[in-house]
Structure 1
């Protein structure tokens, strides 16, 4: 409990520093960029259109129905993978702050995740515009389930960033290793294909034991306008509970790792 109290207490103490850093990162990211934040929309949308058209040729799928599935899956994946990768540099890029100030280290993984979450928010807004054009009849109140879905995926991203930042302090080679693992996870997670494709081949176990599938589905399912059922709510609550526990564990590990962190950089 002491670690968790210090973790949240430090975040509250440095909340203005955190807000300033996030604002600074967003401004620097799009500084002198002609399209700016539009790149957060163009990239996943462009990939979705390209993959959707290729799949329509090879597998005969309807791109009108498949592009929203791709777009709604790529957006949360980019957030999760970006949070994990960003976590490996969270402390290293903040070396000056950590060695010259008394700021609490745990705000730096949060900084990375929050910047990525803002980008996710923009991307999902673009997704809903595209989805409204392609499938206006699918819009409904069930889409409000994306609110707890976004909370779940934010906690998931923060868990990944906390863990990767803690590991990188002791193992600088972790970043390329993590990138390799994430690349493999991308292909075994139903992002550029549907779960039914895996079910038809008898490999449904591959995604059912994959935590990334449930994190992404927490956003993707309501974004596609899927109906809310008792089973859907139960799954959402279970994923939220598991993700929250994982986040608390990562927070404890973060605080144990923070002792003398400036000397480890």
Structure 2
């Protein structure tokens, strides 16, 4: 495990350079550039929110912030997972021609996705400030530790998906299918209250992705932080940290002779 963090530290400048390069390439020659990172989740939230507000009989102004604040972290998680499956494959040239630490490449895709998440959440807060200025308060400060938790979750998922893909190349479409299913059973396009009313709370209670979303969405919406949230937050943080450390160990075991596996 020490070698995992030593490698990240040794090649930290390479990692930062690659992240900057990926961000520049993504928005290169784009008229709106990084603004797309604000427009995309907002547009999806408005479209989905308007339709589902009619279906659920809710006010769009109440449903859209819930969708927006849940969709942003979900896009980060799914982006980290998808990026993890191609992290080593896209870095084949670096791995075969240099001595750079392989573990920086899954982290690379996560950091790019995390920067995009920050932009998206800035857009959310600007919109939410217009829709519900009274919701803003000190309870929103829990948003920052929530972002740390979801960053750890993204790195864990990317580490695991990148390691699995090296040995099982069909994992990428399988993972995409699983993520699509998880999207619909995670309270993103609907609220937990809707599931509670129908007696299906178990659907999201046993879903770990719900908790990853919740540690960011609850404080972002300005919801009062109670004992239950603090307990869930503590459990999510501990479990995510342990899972990340386990993924780091598996990553280092997978890294032996990784260039030959590509």
TM over 0.5: yes
In the alignment, is residue 63 of structure 1 matched against residue 60 of structure 2? yes
Match of 1:186 in 2: 183
Measure the CA separation in 1 of the matches of 2:196 and 2:226: 21
After TM superposition, the structure 1 stretch with the greater mean CA deviation from structure 2, 47-56 or 243-252, is: 47-56
Deviation at 1:229, TM superposition (A): 2.0
Measure the CA separation in 2 of the matches of 1:59 and 1:191: 14
CA offsets 1:9-59 (integer angstroms, 9 cap, x no match): 000000000000000000000000111111111111111111111122222
Q: Which runs of 5+ in 2 are unaligned?
A: none
- TM (norm. structure 2) is 0.99
Match of 1:85 in 2: 82
Match of 2:129 in 1: 132
Measure the CA separation in 1 of the matches of 2:70 and 2:254: 33
Measure the CA separation in 1 of the matches of 2:44 and 2:124: 13
In the alignment, is residue 21 of structure 1 matched against residue 22 of structure 2? no
Measure the CA separation in 2 of the matches of 1:36 and 1:119: 12
Measure the CA separation in 2 of the matches of 1:210 and 1:235: 13
Deviation at 1:192, TM superposition (A): 0.4
- TM (norm. structure 1) is 0.98
Aligned counterparts, 1:1-265, within 5 A: 4-265=1-262
Query: Root-mean-square deviation (CA), in Å?
Result: 0.6
Where do 4+ consecutive residues of structure 1 move more than 6 Å?
none
Measure the CA separation in 2 of the matches of 1:55 and 1:116: 27
